[in-house]
Amino acid sequence: MSQETIVCKQVKKIYKSPGVTFEALKEVNVSVQENELLMLVGPSGAGKTTLLSIMAGILSQTEGECLVLGNPVHAMSQEEKTVFRGKNIGFVFQSFNLIPSLTAWENVSIPLLIHGASKQEAKSRSIEMLQSLGLGDRAEEYPTRFSGGQMQRVSIARGCVHRPKIILCDEPTSFLDHENGENVMQLLKKIQEKDRCTQVIVTHDPRIFDFADRIIEINDGVVKNEKRNQQQT
Protein backbone atom coordinates (compact mmCIF):
# COMPACT_ATOMS: atom_id res chain seq x y z
CA MET A 1 0.00 0.00 0.00
CA SER A 2 1.32 3.44 -0.93
CA GLN A 3 2.45 5.64 1.95
CA GLU A 4 2.21 9.40 2.30
CA THR A 5 5.59 11.07 1.77
CA ILE A 6 4.39 14.64 2.42
CA VAL A 7 1.30 15.65 4.40
CA CYS A 8 0.15 19.27 4.74
CA LYS A 9 -2.79 19.88 7.06
CA GLN A 10 -4.61 23.20 7.39
CA VAL A 11 -1.48 25.04 6.29
CA LYS A 12 -1.61 28.84 6.37
CA LYS A 13 1.16 31.21 5.39
CA ILE A 14 0.79 34.89 6.21
CA TYR A 15 3.33 37.52 5.20
CA LYS A 16 3.37 40.70 7.25
CA SER A 17 5.06 44.00 6.61
CA PRO A 18 4.31 47.45 8.05
CA GLY A 19 0.68 48.18 7.23
CA VAL A 20 0.26 45.12 5.00
CA THR A 21 -0.86 41.54 5.70
CA PHE A 22 -0.97 39.02 2.87
CA GLU A 23 -2.36 35.51 3.27
CA ALA A 24 -0.46 33.46 0.67
CA LEU A 25 -1.94 30.09 1.76
CA LYS A 26 -5.35 29.62 3.39
CA GLU A 27 -5.82 26.31 5.23
CA VAL A 28 -4.36 24.15 2.47
CA ASN A 29 -4.65 20.36 2.77
CA VAL A 30 -2.38 18.39 0.43
CA SER A 31 -0.85 14.93 0.67
CA VAL A 32 1.73 13.42 -1.68
CA GLN A 33 2.04 9.67 -2.03
CA GLU A 34 5.24 7.66 -2.17
CA ASN A 35 6.58 7.37 -5.76
CA GLU A 36 4.03 9.90 -7.06
CA LEU A 37 4.67 12.71 -9.53
CA LEU A 38 2.40 15.50 -8.33
CA MET A 39 2.05 18.80 -10.15
CA LEU A 40 0.97 21.98 -8.41
CA VAL A 41 -0.55 24.22 -11.08
CA GLY A 42 -2.17 27.63 -11.20
CA PRO A 43 -1.38 31.24 -12.14
CA SER A 44 1.59 33.22 -10.90
CA GLY A 45 1.08 34.38 -7.32
CA ALA A 46 -1.36 31.57 -6.53
CA GLY A 47 0.73 30.17 -3.67
CA LYS A 48 2.36 27.20 -5.46
CA THR A 49 5.99 28.10 -4.75
CA THR A 50 5.13 29.09 -1.18
CA LEU A 51 3.69 25.62 -0.59
CA LEU A 52 6.72 23.98 -2.23
CA SER A 53 9.03 26.03 -0.01
CA ILE A 54 7.14 24.88 3.09
CA MET A 55 7.45 21.26 1.97
CA ALA A 56 11.21 21.87 1.59
CA GLY A 57 11.54 23.43 5.04
CA ILE A 58 12.78 26.66 3.45
CA LEU A 59 9.71 28.51 4.78
CA SER A 60 7.75 27.76 7.94
CA GLN A 61 3.98 27.85 7.85
CA THR A 62 2.15 30.39 10.02
CA GLU A 63 -0.43 27.80 11.07
CA GLY A 64 -1.07 24.11 10.45
CA GLU A 65 1.23 21.16 10.02
CA CYS A 66 3.51 19.86 7.27
CA LEU A 67 5.11 16.46 7.74
CA VAL A 68 7.85 15.30 5.37
CA LEU A 69 8.69 11.60 5.66
CA GLY A 70 6.84 11.78 8.97
CA ASN A 71 8.98 14.66 10.28
CA PRO A 72 7.76 18.15 11.22
CA VAL A 73 10.52 19.97 9.34
CA HIS A 74 9.41 23.41 10.57
CA ALA A 75 10.25 22.35 14.13
CA MET A 76 13.86 21.48 13.27
CA SER A 77 16.84 23.75 13.86
CA GLN A 78 18.52 25.24 10.79
CA GLU A 79 21.32 22.71 11.07
CA GLU A 80 18.85 19.83 11.35
CA LYS A 81 16.94 21.12 8.31
CA THR A 82 20.15 21.32 6.28
CA VAL A 83 21.10 17.75 7.14
CA PHE A 84 17.56 16.47 6.52
CA ARG A 85 17.32 18.17 3.12
CA GLY A 86 20.76 16.95 2.15
CA LYS A 87 19.82 13.35 2.82
CA ASN A 88 16.25 13.31 1.58
CA ILE A 89 15.45 16.15 -0.84
CA GLY A 90 16.73 17.16 -4.26
CA PHE A 91 15.97 20.48 -5.95
CA VAL A 92 15.55 21.42 -9.62
CA PHE A 93 15.26 25.17 -10.12
CA GLN A 94 13.60 27.30 -12.78
CA SER A 95 16.76 29.34 -13.41
CA PHE A 96 19.15 26.34 -13.20
CA ASN A 97 21.34 28.00 -10.47
CA LEU A 98 24.54 26.53 -11.89
CA ILE A 99 27.88 28.01 -10.85
CA PRO A 100 29.55 29.26 -14.07
CA SER A 101 33.10 28.83 -12.75
CA LEU A 102 32.55 25.09 -12.13
CA THR A 103 32.43 22.37 -14.77
CA ALA A 104 29.29 20.32 -15.28
CA TRP A 105 30.47 17.46 -13.08
CA GLU A 106 31.67 19.88 -10.39
CA ASN A 107 28.21 21.50 -10.29
CA VAL A 108 26.58 18.07 -10.02
CA SER A 109 28.94 16.97 -7.27
CA ILE A 110 28.00 19.75 -4.83
CA PRO A 111 25.33 17.79 -2.85
CA LEU A 112 27.72 14.84 -2.50
CA LEU A 113 30.66 16.95 -1.31
CA ILE A 114 28.54 18.87 1.18
CA HIS A 115 27.59 15.62 2.84
CA GLY A 116 31.00 14.03 3.09
CA ALA A 117 31.75 12.19 -0.15
CA SER A 118 35.38 12.21 -1.26
CA LYS A 119 36.22 14.23 -4.36
CA GLN A 120 37.02 11.03 -6.25
CA GLU A 121 33.69 9.41 -5.32
CA ALA A 122 31.78 12.63 -6.05
CA LYS A 123 33.40 12.95 -9.49
CA SER A 124 32.70 9.32 -10.39
CA ARG A 125 29.05 9.47 -9.34
CA SER A 126 28.53 12.87 -10.98
CA ILE A 127 29.93 11.76 -14.33
CA GLU A 128 27.84 8.58 -14.16
CA MET A 129 24.74 10.71 -13.53
CA LEU A 130 25.58 13.01 -16.44
CA GLN A 131 26.12 9.99 -18.69
CA SER A 132 22.64 8.72 -17.82
CA LEU A 133 21.25 12.09 -18.97
CA GLY A 134 23.22 12.14 -22.22
CA LEU A 135 25.93 14.59 -21.13
CA GLY A 136 28.77 12.28 -20.16
CA ASP A 137 31.00 13.58 -22.96
CA ARG A 138 30.58 17.15 -21.71
CA ALA A 139 31.27 16.61 -18.02
CA GLU A 140 34.44 18.75 -18.12
CA GLU A 141 32.78 21.69 -19.88
CA TYR A 142 31.44 24.85 -18.25
CA PRO A 143 27.73 25.80 -18.14
CA THR A 144 28.27 28.89 -20.31
CA ARG A 145 28.83 26.55 -23.28
CA PHE A 146 25.53 24.72 -22.78
CA SER A 147 22.08 25.37 -24.23
CA GLY A 148 19.12 25.96 -21.90
CA GLY A 149 18.01 22.35 -22.23
CA GLN A 150 21.51 21.08 -21.45
CA MET A 151 21.83 23.37 -18.43
CA GLN A 152 18.52 22.06 -17.12
CA ARG A 153 19.81 18.50 -17.51
CA VAL A 154 22.87 19.42 -15.44
CA SER A 155 20.51 20.93 -12.86
CA ILE A 156 18.48 17.71 -12.80
CA ALA A 157 21.66 15.66 -12.39
CA ARG A 158 22.68 17.82 -9.42
CA GLY A 159 19.24 17.47 -7.84
CA CYS A 160 19.17 13.70 -8.24
CA VAL A 161 22.80 12.57 -7.87
CA HIS A 162 22.40 11.70 -4.16
CA ARG A 163 19.27 9.65 -4.95
CA PRO A 164 16.91 11.63 -2.68
CA LYS A 165 13.55 10.24 -1.63
CA ILE A 166 11.89 13.50 -2.73
CA ILE A 167 12.59 15.79 -5.69
CA LEU A 168 11.09 19.28 -5.66
CA CYS A 169 11.00 21.23 -8.93
CA ASP A 170 10.08 24.89 -9.36
CA GLU A 171 9.01 25.62 -12.96
CA PRO A 172 11.61 23.27 -14.50
CA THR A 173 10.42 23.83 -18.10
CA SER A 174 9.40 27.48 -18.17
CA PHE A 175 12.60 28.67 -19.90
CA LEU A 176 12.61 25.83 -22.43
CA ASP A 177 11.01 25.32 -25.83
CA HIS A 178 8.50 22.50 -26.32
CA GLU A 179 11.05 19.86 -27.38
CA ASN A 180 13.45 20.56 -24.53
CA GLY A 181 10.58 20.76 -22.04
CA GLU A 182 9.38 17.33 -23.16
CA ASN A 183 12.92 15.95 -22.86
CA VAL A 184 13.32 17.32 -19.33
CA MET A 185 10.00 15.79 -18.21
CA GLN A 186 10.88 12.45 -19.78
CA LEU A 187 14.12 12.49 -17.78
CA LEU A 188 12.32 13.35 -14.53
CA LYS A 189 9.75 10.64 -15.15
CA LYS A 190 12.51 8.11 -15.86
CA ILE A 191 14.25 9.05 -12.59
CA GLN A 192 10.95 8.78 -10.70
CA GLU A 193 10.37 5.26 -12.00
CA LYS A 194 13.99 4.09 -11.65
CA ASP A 195 14.67 5.43 -8.14
CA ARG A 196 11.05 5.19 -6.91
CA CYS A 197 11.20 8.73 -5.60
CA THR A 198 8.40 11.22 -4.97
CA GLN A 199 8.35 14.34 -7.15
CA VAL A 200 6.45 17.59 -6.63
CA ILE A 201 6.59 19.95 -9.60
CA VAL A 202 5.33 23.53 -9.55
CA THR A 203 4.35 24.62 -13.05
CA HIS A 204 1.98 26.72 -15.11
CA ASP A 205 3.15 24.99 -18.30
CA PRO A 206 0.18 23.00 -19.67
CA ARG A 207 2.45 21.26 -22.20
CA ILE A 208 3.77 18.96 -19.47
CA PHE A 209 0.55 18.16 -17.57
CA ASP A 210 0.33 14.69 -19.14
CA PHE A 211 3.47 13.61 -17.26
CA ALA A 212 1.75 14.00 -13.88
CA ASP A 213 0.21 11.19 -11.88
CA ARG A 214 -1.98 13.78 -10.16
CA ILE A 215 -2.58 17.50 -10.61
CA ILE A 216 -3.64 19.94 -7.90
CA GLU A 217 -4.75 23.42 -8.92
CA ILE A 218 -4.02 26.23 -6.47
CA ASN A 219 -5.41 29.73 -6.83
CA ASP A 220 -5.63 32.58 -4.34
CA GLY A 221 -3.95 30.41 -1.71
CA VAL A 222 -6.49 27.59 -1.73
CA VAL A 223 -6.86 24.23 -3.47
CA LYS A 224 -9.41 24.76 -6.25
CA ASN A 225 -9.34 21.43 -8.02
CA GLU A 226 -7.64 18.04 -7.98
CA LYS A 227 -7.56 15.34 -10.61
CA ARG A 228 -5.74 12.11 -11.33
CA ASN A 229 -4.22 11.80 -14.75
CA GLN A 230 -5.79 8.74 -16.34
CA GLN A 231 -2.83 8.29 -18.68
CA GLN A 232 -0.64 7.52 -15.67
CA THR A 233 -2.96 5.03 -13.93
Q: From residue 181, how far is each of 11, 36, 68 by CA, in Å?
A: 31, 20, 28
Task: Tell me the β-bridge partners of 190.
Answer: none
Decide if pLDDT at 232 tops 70: no
Residue 216's pLDDT is what?
A: 96
**Contact 42/48 with Cβ under 8 angstroms?**
yes
Domains of the chain: 35-60+75-232 (3.40.50.300)
Cα 84 to Cα 173: distance, rounded to the nearest angstrom: 27
**Contact 160/88 with Cβ under 8 angstroms?**
no
Decide if pLDDT at 233 tops 90: no
Nearest-5° Cα angle at 163, 187 to 31: 80
Decide if pLDDT at 231 tops 80: no
Give 28-68 pLDDT, tens digit per residue: 999 999 999 999 999 888 899 999 999 999 999 999 999 99
pLDDT band at 2 (very low <50, low <70, confident <90, very high): low
Percent of the chain predicted with pLDDT > 70: 97
- Strand segments, DSSP code E, in 34-145 are 37-41, 63-68, 71-72, 89-92
Task: Tell me the β-bridge partners of 15.
Answer: 22
Instruction: For residue 151, give the nearest of 72, 92, 86, 212 by alpha carbon.
Output: 92
Cα 145 to Cα 65: distance, rounded to the nearest angstrom: 44
Give 77-126 pLDDT, tens digit per residue: 999 998 898 889 999 887 788 999 999 999 999 999 988 889 999 999 99
42 Rama class: left (phi>0) / alpha (psi -120 to 50) / beta: left
DSSP element (H, E) containing 107: helix 104-114
Q: What is the pTM of this model?
A: 0.89
Using a CB cutoff of 8 Å and minimum separation of 24, what contacts does 126-134 make?
Answer: 126/157, 126/161, 129/157, 129/160, 129/161, 130/104, 130/105, 130/154, 130/157, 132/157, 133/157, 133/187
